[in-house]
Amino acid sequence: MAEAESVIGTPDSAGADESAGPGTEVRPQGKRKLAALLVVAVLAYLIDLGSKMLVVAKLEGHEPIDLIGDLLRLSAIRNRGAAFGMGEAYTVIFTLIASVVITVIIRLSRKLYSLPWAIALGLLLGGALGNLTDRIFRSPGVFRGAVVDFIAPAHFAVFNLADSAIVCGGILIVLLSFRGLDPDGTIHKD
């Protein structure tokens, strides 16, 4: 039956790599997971955008709000740098890096057949788009805008939901890589 499917080229066997080396399990690819990637990216982007709009409207210029005593508070700041406020002079470079990351994710999505990878890349894409929107459209100007950060844990840097999406997507990618799962759905059994 499997031989007949490979000759006929059924949707589940289309694109499966018959020449995979030892230690690699070939999985049927079926439909691409582009829709899942896009849904996750749009949700992450919209939640980030909405939270930043709310923070700018209700929290900016006001006293921080304590959520869990001194352990967690909401405090609106503008960050022109990268993570942890580093590199404020390199806002344009961070904008270009985010643009490259978005382009790479879009290109990779054409070969995406793994739902966990779709979720991870969707989180990265949504987060990158959220912070890129700030860098393009917020003051002091195009490609020099400051990112709105507002989640302030004690003894840690202030961040936003886009940053959280990026970190969660990155952690998921590391875990998937350790498990040997590739974006195209193949599993390496090393």
Question: What is the spatial distance between Cα 158 and Cα 145, in angstroms, rounded to a whole number?
Answer: 17
CB 157 within 8 A of CB 84: yes
Question: What is the spatial distance between Cα 164 and Cα 183, in angstroms, rounded to a whole number?
Answer: 22
Q: Which member of 17, 163, 184, 190 is catalytic?
A: 163
Is residue 149 annotated as a catalytic residue, yes or no? Answer: yes
3-state secondary structure of 8: helix
Question: What is the spatial distance between Cα 190 and Cα 171, in angstroms, rounded to a whole number?
Answer: 21
Question: What is the spatial distance between Cα 9 and Cα 12, in angstroms, rounded to a whole number?
Answer: 8
Is residue 12 annotated as a catalytic residue, yes or no? Answer: no
Q: Which member of 17, 149, 182, 184 is catalytic?
A: 149
Question: What is the spatial distance between Cα 43 and Cα 64, in angstroms, rounded to a whole number?
Answer: 27
Catalytic sites, residue numbers = 149, 163
